[in-house]
Chain A
Amino acid sequence: MKTRTRQAIGLVLGASALAFASASLAEDFSSGSQAKEFGLTEETKAMFSGKVVDIACELTGDCVDACGNGNRNLGIIRDADNKLVMVLKNAQFAFNGPAYDLVAFCNKEVDVDGLMVGDPEYYNTQFYMVQFIREKGAAQWTKANRWTAGWKARNPDVAEGKGPWYRRDLRVQKQIDADGYFGLGEKVDAEYRNSLQ
């Protein structure tokens, strides 16, 4: 085999190895992240760029206007490795999801900063908590805390009142009224309540 041919083979193998190595190295997105840490399961800081997508649209072809206007689960297709990152949480501390924070950027390129969480060895993946978001390359970050405002807009009758939103949410209260706090009815709730006294 001639020298140039051997060099070509080496070049091809090297490029292939580099492609796989790049994919592997892309797993660490912590550089430059300002995300707040919480000590969650296998938590790592992650700041990256990507495109906000409606996951149902992306996977099934069932697409609607404006990524569902907050009614659908959204994700981010990460530029670095083309992975679809499912976002489970925003930056608020009251059981709030990310849809209202992401939907404003439906099908747009964004930069996000937050945390990857979950045991990747057991589940073969991790999920994302978005804490900050901005249009890709923009100067200013926006804190991902839009959920409560979205809930108030959808629930004007109970938007203001005593206690956090989840104590006033009508859908939550309807289920608790019907099935109790443990979901098995008032008798089970009463047994537990009595056990505390």
Chain B
Amino acid sequence: MAFGRNKILAVLAVVAGAVMLSAATANAATSAKAVEIRGEVIDTWCYFSGVMGGEDAVVGTAHHTCALWCAAGGIPVGVLTEDGDVYMVLKIEGEDPLAQSDAVMEIQSDVITAKGLHYVRDGVNYLVVEEVVANDGITNTNHLDYGPVPPNSFPKPKN
């Protein structure tokens, strides 16, 4: 037999190893890709969990004060693009996102254009923001539709 049983077994072992290695590394990190993205800076917990309603209600002016609370509270901040992709922010212009500074607070609910490095791991988009190259401010005036979300994020009028 020109291709003996031992060789077949060796090939099969290599194939099996490759298959298992592929399965084991399917979730491994990918290399960084330089990107420029435009999107709204959002509170990711309220957006993904639905704890305060649908996705349209937990962005923009309606959710601005809650977004401040969540950013100050250490909820990870994300950038929501027009395509509906969310990039979880790992750094902002060299600063850690949960550092007790004003940088992350000042851009809550703003539509920004950011240059940075994009990583993907296990279905999650991560972004190291190297530079915010444009800030269009808050463009989504959805408080006209939803009011403040949650309602207690706006003070009750005094009679």
Tell me if B37 counts as interface (CB < 8 A to partner A).
Answer: no
CA distance A169 to B86 in the complex (A): 27
Tell me if A31 counts as interface (CB < 8 A to partner B).
Answer: no
CA distance A6 to B158 in the complex (A): 83
Q: List 21 A-B contacts (CB under 8 A).
A: A5-B9, A55-B88, A59-B29, A68-B98, A70-B74, A72-B98, A84-B122, A88-B44, A117-B49, A117-B50, A127-B44, A155-B100, A166-B73, A169-B69, A175-B102, A176-B65, A176-B68, A182-B138, A182-B148, A192-B148, A196-B157
**Which of A44-52, A95-103, A105-113 interfaces with chain B?**
A95-103
Tell me if B70 counts as interface (CB < 8 A to partner A).
Answer: yes
A42 to chain B, nearest CB (A): 9
The 9 A-B pairs at the shortest CB distance, nearest first, are namely A97-B74, A125-B123, A41-B50, A124-B123, A71-B96, A183-B64, A182-B61, A95-B73, A118-B48
B89 to chain A, nearest CB (A): 8
CA distance A176 to B8 in the complex (A): 71
Question: Smallest CB-CB separation from A90: which chain B residue?
Answer: B74
Known contacts: A171-B105, A174-B102, A188-B61. The answer to whether A96 contacts B119 by CB under 8 A is no
Number of chain A residues whose Cβ lies closer than 8 Å to a Cβ of chain B? 72
Are the C-beta atoms of A172 and B72 separated by less than 8 Å? yes
CA distance A96 to B84 in the complex (A): 25
B81 to chain A, nearest CB (A): 13
Q: Which residues of B are interface residues toward A (Cβ below 8 A)? A: 5, 8-9, 12-13, 15-16, 19-20, 23-24, 26-29, 32, 44-45, 48-51, 61-62, 64-66, 68-70, 72-76, 84, 86, 88, 90-91, 96-100, 102, 105-106, 108-109, 117, 119, 121-124, 126, 128, 138, 141, 143, 147-148, 153-155, 157
* Chain A residues closer than 8 Å to B8, beta-carbon distance: 5, 8
Q: Which residues of A are interface residues toward B (Cβ below 8 A)? A: 2, 4-5, 8-9, 12, 15-16, 19-20, 23, 38, 40-41, 43, 55-56, 58-60, 62, 68, 70-73, 81-86, 88-89, 94-100, 117-119, 122-125, 127, 129, 147, 151, 154-155, 165-166, 169, 171-172, 174-176, 181-184, 188-189, 192-193, 196-197
